[in-house]
Each structure stands twice: as structure tokens, then as C-alpha cells.
Amino acid sequence: MRILVLGAGATGGYFGGRLAEAGADVTFLVRPKRARLLAEKGLRIQSPHGDAAFPVKTVTADTLSGHWDMVLLSCKAYDLDESIKAIAPAVGPESAVLPILNGLAHYGPLDAAFGPGRVIGGLCHIFSTLGADGEIVHMNNINRITFGERSGGTSARTEALAKAFGPAKCETRHSPEIMQEAWEKYVLLAPLAGMTCLMRASVGTIMATGDGEAIMREMFEECAAVASHAGHAPRPEARDLALGFLTQKGSAMTASMMRDLEAGGPTEGEHIVGDMLRRARAAGLAAPLLRTALTHLQAYEIRRKG
């Protein structure tokens, strides 16, 4: 199975790197500058699960040719259009595309570009970043990638991918109900991102206010109602897990979106909070807190762009 990974950044570089390290046939589609650095120093990972540095195959846009069996895609949502263009030449009739973005809004554009049959469901749990010298720095113990057929069950291609991931130093979940899992992550992420951005504060700080916990729970319920309407109500365990994270007293947790916002950068606000709100509205569900959080994010973007 020939696997193409778009970029060699904090997420794609990590999972693609773990695959390559484990012996899978992986190529990174990168810009020329990144290709030179990888040729010189190899792909470097710093992680509690083991540091690594090893040579990897790279290709650049102008040398990209032929079709890959699997394309791993882990861009920021606001770079999705550009990323679709970048990988398009590598996607043929037999190719599959595995996006590991947050939320669900990217499936529409990916299906439109490649056909729904080529787009596998995926998500990941990892906290990683790029170091100053281009190395991938994995920050804690969590490094899970989850994938599966969006229609449910398994297939030869997802089995093959699971086999490639088998010996890799990351936790792999080949899920027969990937969309349920994607929704369960989404109903945790959307309130976390929406609330920590709207309040410009960590979960613990929000919990220390008079009404923060009540508001957090209400925003979770807005999102859970959207998931239920889509046929993916969070299961009791997922609900407890999400509410546990979202209401944990003293927690320093914020969404990466809130950190992006405080750093003055672009955010995935429309992709995560905006998409959830639009789904709520399409379902005829009131979602006043999602609406307020999205307005905050939109005001931020307008101000940021001056």
C-alpha cells in the first residue's frame, strides 16, 4: 500500500512518520524547502513514545506523478481548498483519501472533489507542534488515529491501512462506526472551542465563574442535539467523557482554537463552531450559545484582518 502524506507538519508528520518508521511505504508531499530539510536531517520526532530520526521519501508538487493507494490529509480547515488542489493529481480511480481534520465540514468539499466513495472517515487525538528546527514535538501520551468506512463496517482498504499501522508507535483504531466516533469528538470539541474562545479562558477559569458550568453544559446540549438529529447521539460513555472534560474544575484546558485566537492567527471557527450552528439551524434547533460564540469568532476575524 503506497501512502502519500500531505505535508510533514505536527499531525501528518507524526502519523505519517510513525507509519514510515514501522516500514510502511510512505511519501511526504512537501514544499521544496521542507524537502531539503528532510533530505538533510531526516524526519525527526520527539515523543514520550520514543524519539526518532530517519530518512523519508518526499515529493514536491512539480515532481508529483501517478496515483497513490491512500492519501493522508491533515491540514487546517482554512487551508482545505489549497490542500485539495495539492493532492488532486495523486488521487486516481483506486485511491482513497483519509482526512484527519477536526469537525465534519471538510467532507462536503472532499466528496465534491474526489467522490464520496474515495473519502474515508478519520480523526485523530494528538497534541503536537513543530519545533524551531522543523522537528515534530509530541507533547503528551496521547497519539491516537481512528479511521474507517463512513458507511460503516470495514473494507479491504481500511484493513490494509490498519495492517500498515499495526506495528507503528501510535494507537490505531480501525472503527466500524467512524462517523459515530467523529460526532462524539465533535460534540466535545465544538463546546470546548466555542466556550474557551467566547470566554477567552480555560475550562477551569470558566468553571470558577458563577454560571460558567451551566452555560458550558447548555452549549454541550446544543451540540448533542445536533448530533442526535443527525442520528449520532453521543453514547452515554462519550457524553460522560465530554462533560467530564468540559466541566472539570481547575482544568487548564483550552481549545487549540482559543490559543490560535490569542496568538492573533486564523482559526477554524467557521469549520467547527460555524458548521455546528448551521447544522443546528438546518435541523430547526435553537442554538443561542453557538450563535453567540460564532459571532465572537467572526468579530475576531474581522478585527484581525483589519
Q: Which residues are catalytic?
A: 185
Contact with a copy of itself (CB under 8 A): which of 210, 236, 264, 284?
210
The residue among 199 and 223 lying less far from a copy of itself, judged by its C-beta, is 199
Binding segment (CB under 8 A) for a copy of itself, from list 94-102, 122-130, 206-214, 240-248: 206-214
Decide: is 265 part of the binding site for a copy of itself (CB under 8 A).
Answer: no
Closest distance of CB 244 from a copy of itself, Å: 20
Check residue 284 for interaction with a copy of itself (CB under 8 A).
Answer: no
Reading across the β-sheet that carries 25-29, which strands appear in turn? 57-59, 25-29, 2-6, 70-73, 96-99
Interface with a copy of itself (CB under 8 A), residue total 24
Least distance in angstroms from the C-beta of 301 to a copy of itself: 9
Among 120, 179, 215, 276, indicate the residue that binds a copy of itself (CB under 8 A): 215
> Least CB distance from residue 209 to a copy of itself, whole Å?
4
Q: Where are the alpha helices (DSSP H) in the chain?
A: 12-21, 32-41, 80-87, 107-114, 156-165, 178-199, 203-207, 212-229, 236-246, 256-262, 269, 275-282, 288-305
Instruction: Single out the residue of 200, 248, 251, 256 in contact with a copy of itself (rule: CB under 8 A).
Output: 200
> What residues does 52 pair with on adjacent strands?
45
Q: What three-state secondary structure class fits 176?
A: coil
How far is Cα 265 from Cα 259, in angstroms, rounded to an integer?
9
Q: Is 251 in the site for a copy of itself (CB under 8 A)?
A: no
> Residue 206, interface with a copy of itself (CB under 8 A)?
yes
From the list 46-54, 69-77, 250-258, 294-302, the region that binds a copy of itself by CB under 8 A is 294-302
Task: Name 174's bridge partners.
Answer: 147
**Which of 88, 130, 208, 282 is in the footprint of a copy of itself by CB under 8 A?**
208
| DSSP codes joined into one string, 77-128 | GGGHHHHHHHHGGG--TT-EEEE--SSSTTHHHHHHHH-GGGB-EEEEEEEE
**Residue 183 sits in the site that holds a copy of itself (CB under 8 A):** no
The C-alpha angle with vertex 156 and arms to 155 and 161, in degrees rounded to 5, equals: 100
Binding site for a copy of itself (CB under 8 A): 198-201, 205-206, 208-212, 215, 288-289, 291-292, 294-296, 298-300, 302-303
